[in-house]
Amino acid sequence: MHPAYSVIIFTTFSGAGYGLLFLMGLFAAGQWIEPDRWFGFTGFFFAFTMIVSGLISSTYHLGHPERAWRALSQWKSSWLSREGVLAVAGFGPFALFAFGWVILESHDGAWRLFAILTVLFAVLTVYATSMIYATLRTIRAWFNPHTVRAYLAFAIWTGSIWFNLLTHLFDLHTPGIGFIVLASGILIWWFKRKYWMFLDGSPSWVSPNSATGLNDLGPVRLLDSPNTQENYIQQEMGFKIARKHAVKLRRWAFLTFFLIPYCLALMTVEAEAWLKIPAAILAVGFVMVGTMIERWLFFAEAKHTVMLYYGAEDS
C-alpha cells in the first residue's frame, strides 16, 4: 500500500494523544497523582493538540476533505465512521475532566467519573482506528489480531513516554509511573516482534492459482497487462518496497521507537536529577520519530489482493 503521510501523522499523533489522556485518566481515577493545575493544563494541552492535529491531518487523505463530516453517518457499518463518532463524543468527558482538574484542581468525587469515561473513550477510539485496518480481508498484513494489539500498545507506549516527561517536569514522578513506562515498553516490543514474525512467516493469503480456481493446472501467470500505463489502483495498492530496505527500516524503527526511548526511560528512573528531564525529552523525540517510521512500514509492507490482477505473484 502507498504510505499516505497524512494518515501516518494521524495515527502517530492521535495515538500518542489518546495514550496520554488514558494515563491521565487512569492515574486520576485511581487517585495516584496530585491534581496539580499546571501539570493538568500542560498534559491536556499536549494531548488535545496531538489528537486534534492528527484528526485534521487525516482529512487530507480524503478526496473531498470538506465532506468528512458525512462519514459520521455510517456508524452502523463502518469502523471509520465509528472512530469519528467516538472521537467527537469523547471530547465531552475529556473537556469536563480537564475542567475539574485545571480549574477546580480536583479529580475526585463526581470528577472521577469523567476520568473513568476519558479512559474508556481513549481506548475505544484507538480500538476503532485499528479496526479500520484489521477488518480489511483483502490485506493479509492487516487482517490479523496483531494489528489491534499493536495499535493499542503503541498508544499506551507513546503516551507513557509523554506522561513520564510531564511528571518529571512538574516533580510528580512516582515509582508507579516508572513501572507503567517500563511495562508498556516490554509490551510494545513483544507485540511488534510477533507482528513482524507473522508478516515474514505467514503463508500468502491468496495466490494467482486460488484466485482463478486453476489450482490443478500448474503455475498461473499474467500473459498481458490489463492497461498500458500505471493507474490509480496500482499507485495506491501496488506500492513496493525492496526486502533489504524493509529490513533496514525495521532496524531503524526498532531502535527509535523502542530501544533508545526505553533506555532513556530507564535513565529517568535511576539517573541523577539533572539528567532526568533531558533524557525524558530525548525519549519523547525518539519515540515519535520511531513510531512514524513504523507506521510508514505498516503501510508500505502491506500487499493488496487486487494486485494479482496486475501480475503480482501473491498477496
**Helices 260-270, 145-169: inter-axial angle, 10-degree rounding:** 40
Beta strands in the chain (DSSP E): none
Q: Residue 309: pLDDT band by 50, 70, 90 thresholds?
A: low
Domain boundaries, the chain: 5-213+232-310
Please report, in angstroms and rounded to a whole number, the separation of the first and last CA atoms in the chain: 11
Q: Across residues 98-104, what is the average pLDDT?
A: 97
The model's pTM is: 0.91
Q: Residue 73: pLDDT band by 50, 70, 90 thresholds?
A: confident
pLDDT digits (tens, 9 = 90+) for 176-208: 999 999 999 999 999 999 999 998 887 666 766
d(CA 210, CA 174): 56
Q: Residue 60: pLDDT band by 50, 70, 90 thresholds?
A: confident
Most confidently modeled of 119-133, 223-237, 239-253, 300-314?
119-133
The DSSP string of 136-198 is -TT-TTTSSHHHHHHHHHHHHHHHHHHHHHHHHHTT---HHHHHHHHHHHHHHHHHHHHHHHH
Residue 248, helix vs strand vs coil: helix
Give whole-number Cα distances, 121 to 102, 117, 182, 262, in Å: 20, 6, 24, 27
Asked whether the predicted pLDDT for residue 45 surpasses 80, the reply is yes
Residue-level pLDDT at 192: 96
Residue 35 identity (one-letter amino acid): P
The per-residue pLDDT of the chain, averaged, comes to 87
Q: Residue 232: pLDDT band by 50, 70, 90 thresholds?
A: low
Asked whether the predicted pLDDT for residue 314 surpasses 80, the reply is no
d(CA 273, CA 313): 56
Q: Residue 160: pLDDT band by 50, 70, 90 thresholds?
A: very high
DSSP 8-state class, residue 34: -
Residue-level pLDDT at 217: 67
Angle ∠(148,149,153) on CA atoms, nearest 5 = 120
d(CA 188, CA 186): 6
Q: Which CATH number fits domain 5-213+232-310: 1.10.10.10, 1.20.1630.10, 3.10.20.600, 3.90.1010.10?
A: 1.20.1630.10
